[in-house]
Amino acid sequence: MAAPVNIIVGSHVWVEDPKLAWIDGEVKHINGQEVHVQTTNGKTVVTDFAKVFPKDTEAPPGGVDDMTKLSYLHEPGVLQNLATRYELNEIYTYTGNILIAVNPFQRLPHLYDTHMMEQYKGATFGELSPHVFAVADVAYRAMINEGKSNSILVSGESGAGKTETTKMLMRYLAYLGGRSGVEGRTVEQQVLESNPVLEAFGNAKTVRNNNSSRFGKFVEIQFDKSGRISGAAIRTYLLERSRVCQISTPERNYHCFYLLCSAPPEVREKYKLDNPKTFHYLNQSNCYELDGINDSHEYLATIRAMDIVGISEDEQEAIFRVVAAILHLGNIEFAKGEEIDSSVIKDEQSRYHLNMTAGLLKCDAKALEDALIKRVMVTPEEVITRTLDPGSALDSRDALAKTVYSRLFDWIVEKINISIGQDPNSKSIIGVLDIYGFESFKNNSFEQFCINFTNEKLQQHFNQHVFKMEQEEYTKEEINWSYIEFVDNQDVLDLIEKKPGGIIALLDEACMFPKSTHETFAQKLYQTFSKNKRFTKPKLSRTSFNISHYAGEVTYQADLFLDKNKDYVVAEHQDLLTASKCPFVAGLFPPLPVESSKSSKFSSIGSRFKLQLQSLMETLSSTEPHYIRCVKPNNVLKPAIFENVNVIQQLRCGGVLEAIRISCAGYPTRRTFYEFLLRFGVLAPEVLEGNYDDKVACQMILDKMGLKGYQIGKTKVFLRAGQMAELDARRTEVLANAAKKIQRQIRTYIARKEFISLREAAIQLQSSWRAMMARKVYEQLQQEAAALNIQKYFRRYIAQKSYLTARASAITLQTGLRAMVARNEFRFRKQTKAAKIIQACLRCHIAYSYYKSLQKAAIVTQCGWRQRVARRELRKLKMAARETGALKEAKDKLEKRVEELTWRLQFEKRLRTDLEEAKAQEITKLQDALHAMQIQIEEANARVIKEREAARKAIEEAPPVIKETPIVVQDTAKIDSLTAEVESLKAMLLSERKETEAARRACMDAEVRNAELVKKLEDADRKVNQLQDSVHRLEEKLSNTESENQVLRQQALTMSPTGKALSARPRATIIQRTPENGNVVNGETKAASDMTIAVAHPREPESEEKPQKSLNEKQQENQDLLIKCITQDLGFSGGKAVAACVIYKCLLHWRSFEVERTTVFDRIIQAIASAIEGQDNNDILAYWLSNTSTLLLLLQHTLKASGAASLTPQRRRSTSASLFGRMSQGLRGSPQSAGLSFLNGRVLGKLDDLRQVEAKYPALLFKQQLTAFLEKIYGLIRDNLKKEISPLLGLCIQAPRTSRASLVKGRSHAHAVAQQALIAHWQSIVKSLNSYLKIMKANYVPSFLIRKVFTQIFSFINVQLFNSLLLRRECCSFSNGEYVKAGLAELEQWCSGATEEYAGSAWEELKHIRQAVGFLVIHQKPKKTLDEITNELCPVLSIQQLYRISTMYWDDKYGTHSVSSDVISRMRIMMTEDSNNSVSTSFLLDDDSSIPFSVDDISKSMKQIEIGDIEPPPLIRENSGFAFLHQRSD
């Protein structure tokens, strides 16, 4: 590779690292061809210029889902992208149409559930996130559309997940094909159930893997012409036969040998088996057991698997006999015989094993011995028998063992195919190839040579496919690609398989010469291929050779090549086993044609391997291939560990890097015009500002940069290897210059800002210094003024003190005299006031006592009268109750409920009474305490007055001069003590007042609590009222249900042979309306003892006694006319469906609800069915939705099964506030009294007054059919709207790219046009919603049904948008979130305009997509904690959904990052816990297509319907048979 000229100092690059494979860093110095790189781990690496690769610093943080989108398609870029996606649990990645699957080593059930299959079904490849389902879907669609078979090649190391991937492929194909297999098991299940058996006999431990497949498996899933699975077959290729006889440490032989040696003791005794160390075919290696694997348990599991795939116990016994025979056969050893070149059985031990082998194979021991050590040569003259030397006898033994095991394995595969079932007439297949991957160990022998030869062949097929895909891409874009070289590995294949002169041919030639050795074979190879660039000889070895494969150079040791390649087809072996007495063994060796059985033929494993490989390649060439490369991220088989060196080696072995090299040979970097201009438009701003076409603009930028060799297609720019890096270098240079300008300006700004701040600081310092000096001067002046003030105020204080002393003495004398006068006046006024209060209280008490006596007398009188009225009413109710036994059980329940509520009410009242009594007692105590304190205060005041009077008298009586001073002192002390006592009494009074205030507040709190209790009591009353209404509704529903069941049972009995006697059962009498006015005639009420409501029309006595059972001819004509009428669009009258009202009136008048047999219901149903059949006209559907809902509502309120009262009008809610009033009114609302009030009322005019009739079976069946049609019509309208908006939703989830004009600033008009284009799809959805709303409103569809339609439609929008958001990474961007948010605002505006009457809670159904979009557009995501996200931002979303959005998010607008790694880690831990707790881990939503309402919901939500004033349609208006339709209510 030439030195990349675009690497400069400061570039971010990738360099090789021995531990991490590749590590990123920054170029610090370039010295000629040496580059000094500072890596991210702090080391400085010096490397060659050609070994440095540029790093894309603008790559998305979550990687890209298709690695052809990488700006730099090289090895470190691919590795970094896979590692980034694996960290986010994105285990699938595309490379073109090749899928790379990294084994997560943990359960990810959300990736493989039915929701995910539904999403990928029919989706365009690449539209959704990479997935194994997408590959299977492409293969299936290609098979269906083109009629050509397809194949899916799954490759990878053991442990990379090939089997699991194959399982998922077959699951998805079974989901698409959908035929169940034998015994209830699908074909996919049967194929997978065969895996344990095939693994037991075809897998073995190798150097790298404990369960490595040593054969290739091609599963053919067969399809019929309609694309449904019709069968399956398992084809096996290239079984490693040599492993049966030769293994080396640390490998093992095939698992079945060790399983049989670990079988139960009775089984081992049966086959004479012992420890594996005792058998030659097993003890060539020191490895006998696998870590963590119990061979005895695996043996039992294999037995169960054999049972499942249909291998009988006899066949199982025969299989294990053959396996045991092979082990015993390997222990047979030979020694030299007496003759030259002869051999005999070595010892008794060998003889024992010979006899055991013969016994297990059920053949003659002598014949077996002869077959091993003798050969028969047939010549024209005679038959010659010769003996073999010991070496040849061992070869003969090993040849027999390999042949028997190979035939056994083929039989098992054939048996499994028979069990699964094949379709010989199948025209198309989808094959899934699971074959061993490229192997390169420390010691590589003949097995690795064959395996790598197979992978070279597959790699050539892969390269041709990749190159073909490249050609198709170039042809599609119409670019010139004729000069692109194709990377081919034909020279390696010629080296191995070419005839003559290939390695396999030379090996066969060496095997046919008895004296050839591995050294002579190696020397022959050295001589033949000395000039071949793919073949080299190691320096220190004489028998090894190197081959340069596509995945790297491999060194092979030729020591055992000859032994492992020999595979004689010995006629003696064939004859021996064909003659076996065991049918199973004889079946493995059917007789050969005569000419082929005469002598032994040499056959090599290498040649047979080549023929089988050729057959496999022919099969693959006849199909359209698809590739899945499985990668094992680490060797410890644990999740979240990504070993770069391990992965890069697998990418090389899997041919992924080879495919990248093919891409690099052409145009590895492809960018759409939009992406190219978005990234490199800064290189030529003048191009963006001009009105150029995108293609022309790209051409101008590339020409300006001086690039050569690129191509411009129809929609993309194709760049040669290195050109992307060169453009990035130019772009980096432009951006760096722009950054320098910005830095220069900001540095100028910072320097000026610093200067201004320094200048302001200097000015501030000067100002502060001057202020300090001024303050010192001011302080001195202030001290002088303060001294003068102090002197002045001191002198004033002395003078004032002397004045105040004299003044206080005068005031004291005046105060004493004035206080004495005031106390006298106060005492007089207080006595006067007390007398008035006593008089007022006495008068009040007398008046109140008189009032209470009158009130008590009135209450006693009222109670007596009410008791008398209640007893009278109770007697009436008891009489009614005795005659209405059907309500007894309900009444008992109500009485119990009423008793319970009455007890609760009494309990509440008792609580309130206790509270009032406690409050009164507390107030009394407080008043008593207050009164006692007042008495104490009065007594204290009296004592004070007495003391003062005594003091005054003492003063007056005392001598004026001599005793003056002591008396004053003594009186002053008394006054002081009395004053102190008064003060203490005042304090006590104040504390008592505080206590009184506290008691008053407690009283207020008690009143508040009392008010709350009263409020609760009122709530309890309301609840009692509601419970009574609910009980009433339940009574009616229960009665209807029981009666319907009774009618259905009676109908069943009537249809039975013994049901004839039931036809004479009594009829329930009903109220008959007259055809003239529809009023009830002669509705006289009977006595209370006769509560039967039955009013007969005087002109129709026969119809009263015996309702009609069949229609006469006139009624038949009327029915025909009615059916003809309702097939027309009768429209609406006053918002009511005319057809429904006419049908209801006619059925009610004809008494069709009460007959046992009639056809009118079936004819009406057929008319409705024919009207809506195959209808996409939403107007017609809405018309019939309105009519069926109206008719169903009328039937719901009219039809009443037999056994209930014939008339039950709607109960009116009691207005009485008391519990007893509601109870009595509820009991008074019995059917009898209701019927009486109805007979005195008006005609049936409103829904409240609809009479209820006893419905028979046809009427009940008609109601059920009508309900079914209502649900069907509702579903049709809803599904039509879904179909209409579904294509628009696919366009609404991802914002269309804006034109290049919007990238240039200042173009407001273009920006507005672009915004209008962005929102157009959302406006189309709003237009569809408005159209459907208008149609349903025009047809007067009940608002309840309209709300349900739009609620489910918005739920559908939520599911579709949210699921698409989680499945497509390009949708989880910031700009796309803004786009969807703007669209959701359109829907919110529609909901607001449609009002809650029609939109209902539709807006709430979008909660998932609203919160997800809100998360996408929120800023500073890394600062958000998990609690904030789950509790505040997205409380509805699950952890799985949040994790999916967080890991897929990318900001294409501002370049911000998603949530922090700590939040991601916590989410991952919570998801793991949910997975361990069997919590559903699916992140997708389900669309609910059920019917979200019942008939009861409709009857409760629809308004009353007046049917009396409906104008008859013109067709039946003049017909005399429909004269009853003209009658109206007043």
Token readout for 298 is: 């695996």
Residue 1103 annotated as catalytic = no
The CA R_g of the chain, rounded to the nearest whole Å, is: 52
Task: Read off the tokens for 383.
Answer: 């038959």
Which residues does 504 contact at the CB level (< 8 Å), separation at least 6?
A: 496, 497, 604, 606, 607, 610
Return the sign of the alpha-carbon dihedral for residues 478, 484, 490, 492.
negative
User: Could you write out the DSSP letters of every residue in 285-318?
Assistant: SS----TT--HHHHHHHHHHHHHHTT--HHHHHH
Out of 129, 195, 206, 209, the active site residue is 209
Tokens of 425: 């007439």
Buried b (16+ CB within 10 A) or exposed e, 345-383: beeeebeebbebbbbbbbbeeebbbbbbbbbbeeeeeee
Q: Which strand (E) or helix (H) includes residue 332? A: none
Is 643 catalytic? The answer is: no
The two tokens of residue 378 are 């047939």
Cα–Cα nearest to 1014, from 1165, 1088, 909: 909
Cβ-contact 661, 462 below 8 angstroms: no
- Give CA–CA dist 958/978, Å, rounded: 21
Q: Which residues contact 734 (CB under 8 A, 6 or more apart)?
A: 682, 683
1432: DSSP letter: I
Question: What is the C-alpha separation between 203 and 198, in angstroms, rounded?
Answer: 7
Of 193, 439, 1035, 1154, which one is the catalytic site residue?
439
Q: Which of 63, 156, 159, 161 is catalytic?
A: 159
Residue 1422 to residue 1034: CA distance in whole angstroms: 57
From the list 103, 155, 203, 213, the catalytic residue is 213
Single-letter amino acid code for the residue at 1401? S
d(CA 1362, CA 1412): 8
Please provide residue 1243's backbone torsions phi and psi, each rounded to the nearest 5 degrees.
-75, 165
Cα within 13 Å of Cα(167), Cβ side? 10
Residue type at 1225? Q
Is 298 marked active-site? no
- From the candidates 63, 437, 722, 1226, give the one annotated as an active-site residue: 437
**Cβ atoms 557, 540 nearer than 8 A:** no
User: What phi, psi does 1072 have (nearest 5°)?
Assistant: -100, 130
The DSSP secondary-structure symbol of 1430 reads: I
In sequence order, the 6+-apart residues with CB closer than 8 A to the CB of 1368 are 127, 128, 129, 1293, 1294
Give per-residue burial for 1427-1448: e unless 16+ CB within 10 Å, then b.
eebbeebbeebbbbbbbbbbbb
**Is 908 a known active-site residue?**
no
Helices 964-1055 and 1257-1292: crossing angle in degrees, nearest 10, is 110
Strands of 544-549's sheet, edge to edge? 535-536, 544-549, 552-557
Catalytic position from the list 81, 129, 155, 158:
158
Catalytic site residue 1306? no
The Cα–Cα gap between 1299 and 1321 comes to 17
Active site residue 1396: no
Is 248 a catalytic site residue?
A: no
Q: For tokens 């001009």, what's the residue?
A: 690
Contact predicate 694/674, CB 8 Å: yes
Token reading at 249: 């440490």
Per the annotation, the verdict on 1079 as an active-site residue is no
* Residue reference for tokens 């922090």: 1460
Residue 1168 tokens, joined: 């409705």
How many Å apart are CA 910 and CA 300, to the nearest integer?
77
**Active site residue: 93, 195, 212, 603, which one?**
212
Q: How far apart are CA 164 and CA 167, in angstroms?
A: 5
The catalytic site residues sit at: 158-159, 163, 209, 212-213, 437, 439
